[in-house]
């Protein structure tokens, strides 16, 4: 049974009945879902959770969905993996990967937020849903809406990766390409949501949608044996995820499911779009918007909706934010794949490269339990690896040819070893 929940203004605290609403009409600040933790206490226990489904819905009692909601997708409950080989490479000794590259159904953490948003879209009676998206959200909304029979309008920047466009259209979604960047798309969606009676998951349903991110934090704690890590490294686009993982940890502490301890939050961005990292580094309490220019398009939000809150969460926790170049992003994608067998998209390259830098700069101690959050799958951004691997000429299906191939190959690698091959 879901706990009682309502909307509350993040700035002035005004309370609202549940409604498709994301902006306070008193101070025009964002609204957030507030769950009644006392009400959740009875249902949200370790035993009840362990007996729940192998999906994010094991935490339903702390998600804003109607009491009688029956989940329709198996989002979440992704692996938390120890990453010893990557750890050794970057000077860590206790590094873990939260791998949402294999989150179902569409291979990114956005399946979590969409699951909660669509549950509310149905509860509010919308027959059409939509979103502004840098790609992963588009995929998740398209798939989720198809499963429950909702119509969709999905707005994306026109220059999105081909795989993300295909992975939206295949579900029968109406994809609207916008001649502009994500911030232009997002602004247009705000206007559309004001005008049409549609449920935009990241506009008028945003308070509910954002709560889905808490499940990343719940899972990390449960998978560590109901304890909190020392550090979490999180990619930042709009900045919501990092604040919600923190909120999840705080709720677990409040409910007595984990012991309270300091957890430091580290934010990761691409240098070509780093408004939150800049705010953290300069100590500013405001976000200067940027015009994005990076291959990490899923993080390319120049005017991040939760930027101020993300920067604040990082600062309050004693963490830090870093940003990395496009070259480092590609190298980190390869490094994570080669070391741990995880193929992530560009956002995961950002997180991995930033994680490496945090160790290199001594901001994270090697022995501290650190979780690096991988949020999307590399199959969606293969374009950035185009030309990275040479394909040799095909050989005939003969053992002799294969042996010649092996010999050529070993000579080649001797040249490489003897030369100055450095990635």
Binding residues (CB under 8 A) for other proteins: these are 11, 22-30, 180, 183-184, 186-187, 190-191, 194, 203, 239, 284-289, 291, 303-309
**CA-CA distances (angstroms) from residue 168 to 71, 126, 134, 143, 199?**
21, 20, 11, 7, 18
Minimum CB distance to other proteins smaller for 95 or for 156: 156
Closer to other proteins by CB, 80 or 308: give it.
308
Whether residue 168 contacts residue 139, with contact meaning beta carbons closer than 8 Å, is answered with: yes
**Rounded distance between C-alpha atoms, residue 280 and residue 156, angstroms:** 28
- For residue 27, give both structure tokens: 């101070």
Q: Which is nearer to other proteins, 323 or 340 (CB)?
A: 323
CB neighbours of residue 341 within 10 Å: 10
Sheet containing strand 5-9, strands side by side: 15-16, 5-9, 31-35
For residues 201 and 114, give the distance between their C-alpha atoms in angstroms, rounded to a whole number: 7
Considering the complex, what minimum distance in angstroms separates the CB of residue 235 from other proteins?
17
Shortest spacing between CB 251 and other proteins, in angstroms = 22
Alpha helices by DSSP H, listed for 269-345, are: 275-282, 307-317, 326-340
The CA distance from 114 to 125, in Å, is 16
Name the 3-class secondary structure at 278: helix
Q: How far is the CB of 333 from other proteins (least distance, A)?
A: 29
- Judged by beta carbon, residue 165 or residue 305, the one nearer other proteins is 305
C-beta closer to other proteins: residue 91 or 289: 289
- Quick one: 24 or 62, whose CB is closer to other proteins? 24
| Residue with smaller CB distance to other proteins, 36 or 316 | 316
- As measured in angstroms, the least distance from the Cβ of 22 to other proteins is 7
Indicate the SS3 state at residue 290. Answer: coil
Least distance CB 133 / other proteins (angstroms): 14
Q: How far is the CB of 306 from other proteins (least distance, A)?
A: 6
Residue ranges in 232-306 assigned as alpha helix (H): 240-254, 275-282
**Closer to other proteins by Cβ: residue 27 or 406:** 27
Q: Nearer to other proteins by C-beta: 77 or 209?
A: 209
Residue 208: phi, psi to the nearest 5?
A: -75, -50
Distance, CA of 21 to CA of 207 (rounded, Å):
8
User: Shortest CA distance to 62 belongs to which of 88, 36, 84?
Assistant: 36
Q: The tokens 């499911």 sit on which residue?
A: 257
Q: What is the smallest separation between the CB atom of 188 and other proteins, expressed in angstroms?
A: 10
Q: How far is the CB of 23 from other proteins (least distance, A)?
A: 5
What H or E segment, with its residue span, contains residue 371?
strand 370-374
Nearest-approach distance from CB 193 to other proteins, in angstroms = 8
Nearest-angstrom CA–CA distance, 127 and 193: 14
* CA triple 218-106-87, angle to 5 deg: 55
- Closest contact distance (angstroms) between CB of 393 and other proteins is 50
- Which value, to the nearest 10 degrees, does the dihedral of the CA atoms of residues 45, 42, 115, 13 take? -120
């Amino acid at each position: 049974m879901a706990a009682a929940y309502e909307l509350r203004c993040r700035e002035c605290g005004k309370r609202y009945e549940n409604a498709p609403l994301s902006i306070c009409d008193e101070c025009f600040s964002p609204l957030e879902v507030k769950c009644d933790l006392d009400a959740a206490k009875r249902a949200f226990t370790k035993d009840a959770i362990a007996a729940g489904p192998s999906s994010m819905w094991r935490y339903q009692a702390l998600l804003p969905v109607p009491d009688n909601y029956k989940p329709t997708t198996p989002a979440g409950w992704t692996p938390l993996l120890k990453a010893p080989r990557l750890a050794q490479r970057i000077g860590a000794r206790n590094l873990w990967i939260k791998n949402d590259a294999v989150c179902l159904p569409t291979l990114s953490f956005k399946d979590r937020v969409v699951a909660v948003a669509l549950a509310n879209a149905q509860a509010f009676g919308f027959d059409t849903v939509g979103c502004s998206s840098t790609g992963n959200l588009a995929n998740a909304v398209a798939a989720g809406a198809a499963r429950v029979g909702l119509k969709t309008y999905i707005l994306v920047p026109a220059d999105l990766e081909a795989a993300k466009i295909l992975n939206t259209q295949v579900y029968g979604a109406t994809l609207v390409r916008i001649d502009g960047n994500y911030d232009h798309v997002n602004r247009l969606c705000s206007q559309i949501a004001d005008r049409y009676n549609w449920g935009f998951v990241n506009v008028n349903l945003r308070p509910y949608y954002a709560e889905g991110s808490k499940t990343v934090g719940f899972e990390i704690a449960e998978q560590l044996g109901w304890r909190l890590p020392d550090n979490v490294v999180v990619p930042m686009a709009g900045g919501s995820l990092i604040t919600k993982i923190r909120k999840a940890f705080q709720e677990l502490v409040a409910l007595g499911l984990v012991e309270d301890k300091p957890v430091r939050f580290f934010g990761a961005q691409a240098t070509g779009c780093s408004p939150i990292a800049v705010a953290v580094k300069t100590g500013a309490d405001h976000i200067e918007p940027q015009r994005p220019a990076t291959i990490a398009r899923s993080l390319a939000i120049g005017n991040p909706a939760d930027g101020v809150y993300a920067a604040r969460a990082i600062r309050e926790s004693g963490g830090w934010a870093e940003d990395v170049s496009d070259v480092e992003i590609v190298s980190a994608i390869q490094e994570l794949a080669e070391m741990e067998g995880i193929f992530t998209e560009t956002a995961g390259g950002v997180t991995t490269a930033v994680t490496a830098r945090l160790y290199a700069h001594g901001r994270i101690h090697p022995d501290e339990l650190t979780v690096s959050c991988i949020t999307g799958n590399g199959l969606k951004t293969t374009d950035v690896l185009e030309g990275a691997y040479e394909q040799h000429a095909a050989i005939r299906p003969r053992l002799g040819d294969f042996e010649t191939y092996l010999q050529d190959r070993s000579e080649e690698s001797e040249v490489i070893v003897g030369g100055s091959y450095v990635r």
